[in-house]
Amino acid sequence: MPGSLKDLVNEQVSQPGYGTSRESVRELIRRDQDRLQRRNLLLARASSAPTEPVTKTDFERLRERVRGAAKMAGKTRPQP
């Protein structure tokens, strides 16, 4: 590995959250994989057929689903 990359990894390891250089490198690889996955999803979506415009009703339904999921998550969590 070139010296500049080693310096970057060593700098990250000196920060809280990374115990070893291997952990730091794994995290960088995971981030890059996530970035590539998001990019591929965006490219696939950009080349797909257009859909119907999103309406206010669509957003309200989504909010209701999120609120319902949050309530269910609260019920399954142990109470202090």
- What confidence category does residue 76 fall into, taking pLDDT thresholds of 50, 70 and 90? low
Q: Where are the domains of the chain?
A: 3-76
pLDDT tens per residue across span 3-48? 888 888 888 888 888 888 888 888 889 999 999 999 999 999 899 8
Query: In this structure, which amino acid lies at residue 59?
Result: F
The pTM (predicted TM-score) of the whole model is: 0.51
